[in-house]
Every structure is written in structure tokens, then in C-alpha cells.
Amino acid sequence: MSASKNGREPLYVVRNSRIHGRGVFALRYIRKGTRILEYTGERIDDDEADRRYDDTKMKRHHTFLFTLGKNTVIDGAANTGGGDASFINHSCDPNCEAVITGRKIFIHALRGIDPGVELAYDYQYERTGKNDAELEKFYLCKCGAENCRGSIMKPAKKKRRRRKRRPAKGRLAAR
Ligand SMILES: C[S@@+](CC[C@H](N)C(=O)[O-])C[C@H]1O[C@@H](n2cnc3c(N)ncnc32)[C@H](O)[C@@H]1O
Ligand SMILES: [Zn+2]
């Protein structure tokens, strides 16, 4: 499982990953901004995605889904036309990003990537606002980055703390 462009050595290879299962690794130096590969698969709606991947029946979360837009998901499983991009794991300190161009998804390099380095982008799973603590465990992140958020979900929105107004000189602050 590797890809070659213009007869040169392939740009990447799919192999076992320390993060999870199989992952995609650079074989050659990949320049910042390079469009590396397309995330292919079958276009389905949310209901069909729920039918195919029932979270409640999974011990650990594992899907090949990519949300393309409102009620449109790409199933990148191998039996539905998925390709190598389906094996790219998540990192909280990603070296790649997924760029949606019209109806397609491409994986681009966010920075220069050395040979041997695993490609990863930030999955940023949407939070529902409900059961977040439970979901954080279900979507446990093993990217190993220094700034790992501990979960594949989007960072929680910080609650804005209201700054206490300092009392004007000579006045008592209201409590
Ligand atoms: C599209 S697959 C990625 C390929 C996967 N490694 C494999 O071999 O099938 C997405 C799944 O990989 C796992 N995964 C990806 N990144 C992860 C991470 N940083 N920590 C834990 N699991 C991860 C999750 O189970 C997720 O549902
Ligand atoms: Zn992480």
C-alpha cells in the first residue's frame, strides 16, 4: 500500500502505527502545502452512517467516516471505495489538514514532513454538549503529542470568565 507519482519513489506508505492500527507514513520529504492524497469512499447520509457504525455496539470507537457537509458523510471503508487516506490517524498536533474542495476532500501537508514521520490531521469530532465526559473516554486520543487534548473531539469551548470590575476609588465594591 504505497503511492507513486511520476514513477518516483512513492510519497507515503500504509503500515502499523503506534497511535492506532495502521497509519500513513511519509517515505520522502513532503513539502508544506503539498496535496498528498484524496479521502475517497462512498457518499452516504447521517442515518446510513449510523446504521453502518453503531457507536453503542462498539467497545472502542472505530469508523472510517468523514463529515463532508450537512447530512453528507464519506464512508472510507475499503469495501466502499475507501483508499489510503482512510488510514490517516488523528493528532492533536497535526502535520496535515483535510481541505474540502467542492465535493472532494484532500489531505494537505501543514508543514514540511520528514521521511518516516506519520501523517496525521485533527479529526475535531463535534461535541454534542451532552455526556461529554463519557464521550471523551470513548474518543480517547493516543496521539502522544505534548499538547494532546486526551480526546479526538474538538477542544471544549472555554467558559468566558467575567472579570470583576475594580471598584472605583473611594467606593465599596458590590458583593
Ligand atoms: C479512519 S480510521 C484510521 C485508521 C486506523 N488506524 C485503522 O487502522 O483502521 C479512524 C479510527 O482510528 C482510530 N484513531 C485514529 N487516530 C487515533 C488517535 N489519535 N487515538 C486513538 N485512536 C485513533 C479511531 O478508532 C478512529 O475511529
Ligand atoms: Zn491527542
Q: What is the CATH number for 36?
A: 2.170.270.10
Cell numbers describing residue 32: 508544506
Residue span of the structural domain in which 22 resides = 2-138
Domain membership flag for residue 53: yes
Provide Rg for the chain, Cα atoms: 20
Query: Which ligand number lies closest to the CA of residue 25?
Result: 1
pTM: 0.87
Percent of the chain at pLDDT > 90 equals 62
pLDDT value for 96: 98
DSSP state of 119: P
Domain membership flag for residue 171: no
Number of domains in the chain: 1
Domain membership flag for residue 111: yes
Distances (CA, A) of 39 to 7, 53, 112, 174: 22, 18, 20, 57
Domain membership flag for residue 172: no
Q: Is 82 in the pocket of ligand 1 (CB under 6 A)?
A: no
Q: Is 149 in the pocket of ligand 1 (CB under 6 A)?
A: no
Given a contact cutoff of 8 angstroms between Cβ atoms, the answer to whether 86 and 21 are in contact is no
Rounded to whole angstroms, the Cα distance separating 52 from 58 reads 11
For residue 22, the ligand 1 atom closest to its alpha carbon is 8
34: enclosing H helix or E strand: none
Domain membership flag for residue 168: no
Domain membership flag for residue 84: yes
The candidate with the shortest Cα–Cα distance to 22, out of 81, 83, 108, is 83
Domain membership flag for residue 40: yes
pLDDT value for 4: 60
Report residue 2's pLDDT band, with 50, 70 and 90 as the boundaries.
low
* More confidently predicted of 60 and 17: 17
Domain membership flag for residue 9: yes
DSSP state of 6: T
